[in-house]
Structure 1
Amino acid sequence: MVHGGFQSWIKEGLRIKELKVETALTILNEDAEAILEDIKPSPLKVLGFGVGAVAALYALLEWENTLQFIGVVGLGQTIYRRVASYEDAKDFREDVKLLLTPVRLGGQAFSWAAGKIETNRPGLPTSPSSIDVQNRVLQAAAKHQSQPSDTDGNQDPSSEPAAQMNEKASEA
């Protein structure tokens, strides 16, 4: 029951529906008017909705970049929440210790593998406990030094090709 009847309803400025032929278009138009009346769009709201629509369109067109952005924001929130959950420095140290465990194990595995690899160095392997091998190396070195070099008969081996070229040039 409305106090004052239909006339008080109109005086209050409430919506009324005029009698006319209803079609799908008129019903949609009335609903759109009712929605606009409820939200009472201001220029600032219209601008906000426009910016939101443009952002949504960009997110749909550039979906890979949007997913990367969402991932970065999510990672940042996760790190912030983790750091904020520490009660003291001991919690932080335990967390870092757990984080660096794979790095430590990888370093140990790498140093173990490096110890198993044979080196490809030229020369004879010698050790201080192998005196016989050291003596043989010293004897071979002494023998090599006592042999005359191949260039003792020639004064300057680099000048030979130049002299041969000079002879050919004079013959021509």
Structure 2
Amino acid sequence: MQFFIPTLTTLLSLSSALPLTARWPTVTSVILPPSVLSQYSISTGAINYDTATGLVSKTGDGKDTSTLATFDIPPSLKGYTCSLHFYLDAGDSVASVSGSGLIDVYSSLKPAPAYDVPAWGPPGNQRDQHYGRLSVVEAGEATVQEGHPVTVKGFPCPGEGPVGFEIVGVYDQVGVAWDPTYSGLYLVY
């Protein structure tokens, strides 16, 4: 028994030092998180490629930020129906929601470039079709808001390769942040 208690204490301290594992929601279909997130400055046109956090921010000062999500779509998805969802994990230490908590999801003509863009000029955010409005909640799944496009609920899976979506804040005051290891926009097929 004397050996057991110190060993158990050591094992418990080691397990608490292990990194958190990715915790996406459990769904009956297969989920695909984005391969890369980039932050887009709406006021300057700058793109910060491959950021460690997703961020949607509008504070009324004109320095709005949206997130460009790039998904690597495998060719095997051809013919499937896809949907987009947004989830904040309770264990995500970065996750936060403020203001309206509303986000709009748009398809992109092209995904974000694989490099930083310092200011206005090509390529821009490549915003295309409005796919839907979601109400984000802390520690849970966002809900689709009726009265807006609801394409996020189901659409033909995009063709193979990188595909982009933009996540944009709604109204003058909104903030949503997340760690893409645990939370954020994801595709279901």
- Using the size of structure 2 for normalisation, the TM-score is 0.18
Instruction: Name which one, 1 or 2, has greater alpha-carbon Rg.
Output: 1
Q: Pick the structure with more helix per residue.
A: 1
- Using the size of structure 1 for normalisation, the TM-score is 0.19
